[in-house]
Each structure stands twice: as C-alpha cells, then as structure tokens.
Structure 1
Amino acid sequence: MKRSDVTPDLNAAAFDFLFWFARFEYALKKNGYLKSTDTGKKAEPNWDMFVKRNRNKYAPATAALALIKARPRQQVVTANAQLGWQELQFAETEFELQKVTLLLRLVRNHLFQGGKPADGSWDDPAKLAPLLETARAALDELAASAGLKADYERT
C-alpha cells in the first residue's frame, strides 16, 4: 500500500488500533508480564508468559472470534531469500489465547510491512480498516477478560 492510498478512515482506524495496542502492552508490563525482571534491562512485554498464565481460563468473545476467522496472512521467507505471504497455521491443540495474541501482533505488523501483492486482501484500505477495528475490539475484550482493564484504560 502506498501512503497516498491511506484514506482518512484507515488513518483513524490505524491510529486507534496502535494506541490501544500500545496501551495493552503497557498493561502487560504493569502487571508483571515482563521478558526480564533484571534491574536495568529494557522493559518489554512478555506475551508468551501472558498466554501461559491465562490460556486455560480464556474464552474468545465476539471480536476475537472474528479476528481468528479473518486469518490475516504472515510474511515468510520463500525460495532464494525472497519475501512471500502465507496464512498463519495453527495446530489443532493450539490454545485460543495463543491464536488471538499472535493475530493481534500480526495485524500490527501488517501496518508497517507492506509489500503485499495487490491481490485484494490486506493491502486494500477498504479491507484493512475493518480488520483494524476488529483487532481493536479484540484488545478491549482481552483486557477485560484478563483483568487488565484498569491499566489498559488508565482508569
């Protein structure tokens, strides 16, 4: 997608999603989901720890189910170190929380990676804006279900 293809609606949806994605990562860190607790280390959210601690009690709500159904593709390395796209594959035994958190991060990456062929999928501003809105709603649901809402919303 070229910058000139970014519509006002897509711009607003992208900002909204990125704002709340950043708030969710802050809430993770604030609640001890850190890659390292060593003094002086960079404070990074530990999504894997979050999934491990919450996967058995998580049930995806409406937006999370829609995000799973949307199945955004991920960028992969193809022959001769070229870049390509493929649907994210999940194991039958994959926890729903793992799926949702991976897809949320994949949506974030879609905003910046670009380079997708014009196949009418995620490079289309008309399709990306609703995906961003779904992902944003899934973040809201996830924050509420994990008890992170106060830090997420900064209330």
Structure 2
Amino acid sequence: MKYFIIDPLSPYKIHYHIGMVSRRLTDSGGLVLTAQGVNYSKTEEVLDDGIRLFKIMMRLEFALKDIGFCTPGRRQVAEVHWERYVNERLGLAFWEKIKDAADAEPLIETPPMKQIADNYGNLHWRKSGAVSSIQELIAAMRRVRNNLFHGGKSGDPDADRNAMLYLAALFVIDQILQEDEGLRTSFSGIY
C-alpha cells in the first residue's frame, strides 16, 4: 500500500509510505528512510573512499558502454566488455607504465580476495595471487568494486585493507582516464 501525507509543519514536506517503510523527502530533495526495528548502522562502515569508488565506477562503466565497449549479457542487458576494452585500448604499454606504481601496489601485490559460494550456499573467500598482467589488474580493480557493492566488504578478511584497496582502485581508474581521451570525454560528460 502506498500513500502520501503532506505535513506543512514538518521540515519534511512530504511523507510517503510503502508497506512498512516510511520515506521522507526533505526540503533539499533528499530522501530519509525510516523503518521500525531496522538498524542501518552497518551501512555507515563503508568509508568515504568506498562511496567515491562506487560512484566513479558507476560513471566509468557508463562511459565504457557509451564509447562502444558494450556486450549483451543475460537477457540482453548491456554490460561492459572489459576484456575487449583492456586489450584494445590499454594493453601491454599501459601495464608497463603502471605495474611499478606505488599507488597500485595493493592491487598488484595482494589483490582482494574473491567471495565464493560452495555447493551448499556457504560463503568462503578465495585468495588471488599477485597480478601479472593488465587483464588481471583490471579484474582486481573490478573485484574491489564488486566486493563493495555485492556485500563482500561486510565482515570480510580484507577489512583492514579496504581503505588501501579503494585508493589503489581509484588510482588505476584515474590512470585509465588520463590515458584514454575518448573515455575521459564520455566520463566527464563534456562532448
């Protein structure tokens, strides 16, 4: 059930309810979620750089699809064709330039673990060896984002390294954007 309440005395101009969750729109257009009995405090554990990484990856993936590095996924959903992008636009030259960068070291020397599920649905972590190619580096960068977005950063064994992994991933993205003018143009939205 969905209904709206307009309360002129409240700092929140409109309240609307969907089921048991109440949402309030603030004067500035922000949305505040409230629900009885739900503790949202664990979401505050994500560091600002993690939030920044998520936002930048979101825009990066848009830009990659926008410049033609797109492939149909399940049910024809547009997905980034990372392998083709890495091979066609970055390649060995980019790897040679970035492999010794101190800011990329956490991704290269000790990439993030991969969260996996066994046949019974139990979650486990699989270690990854040191990165030795640009394809593996981009996979490690994407794993940082995937672990963050898909819940792998709650209670994970890399928790003490998350800040370093976020910064390393952001560094790699920055280097990619500096390297690829077409991608940078689309990412920036300045055509």
TM-score bucket (shorter structure): 0.7 to 0.9
What do you get for the CA RMSD once the two structures are aligned? 2.9
SS in 2 for 1:76: strand
Which whole-Å deviations, capped at 9, do the CAs of 1:82-115 have from their partners, x for residues lacking one?
A: 3211112478xx5x22112101111012113238
Q: 1:129 to 1:83 in 2, by over 3 A?
A: same
Amino acid at match of 2:142: R
Q: Which runs of 5+ in 1 are unaligned?
A: none
Q: State TM-score, norm by structure 1.
A: 0.73
Match of 1:110 among 144, 147, 150: 147
Match status 1:55 vs 2:55 = no
**C-alpha contact (below 8 Å) 1:114/1:123 kept by paired residues:** no
Which whole-Å deviations, capped at 9, do the CAs of 1:17-75 have from their partners, x for residues lacking one?
A: 01111111122112110104xxxx54321111112213233225223344212311001
For 1:32 and 1:57, the matched residues in 2 are separated by 21
Match status 1:139 vs 2:173 = yes
**C-alpha contact (below 8 Å) 1:85/1:116 kept by paired residues:** no
SS in 2 for 1:140: helix
Alignment correspondent of 1:101: 138
Higher strand share: 2
Deviation at 1:135, TM superposition (A): 1.0
Deviation at 1:129, TM superposition (A): 2.3
Match status 1:21 vs 2:63 = no
Instruction: Give the number of the structure with larger relative contact order, counting CA–CA contacts within 8 Å between residues 6 or more apart.
Output: 1
Alignment correspondent of 2:187: 152
For 1:130 and 1:7, the matched residues in 2 are separated by 18
Q: 1:116 to 1:6 in 2, by over 3 A?
A: closer
Higher helix share: 1
> Which structure has the larger Rg?
2
Q: Which runs of 5+ in 2 are unaligned?
A: 1-38
Identity percentage over the alignment? 23
**C-alpha contact (below 8 Å) 2:106/2:164 kept by paired residues:** no
For 2:45 and 2:115, the matched residues in 1 are separated by 26
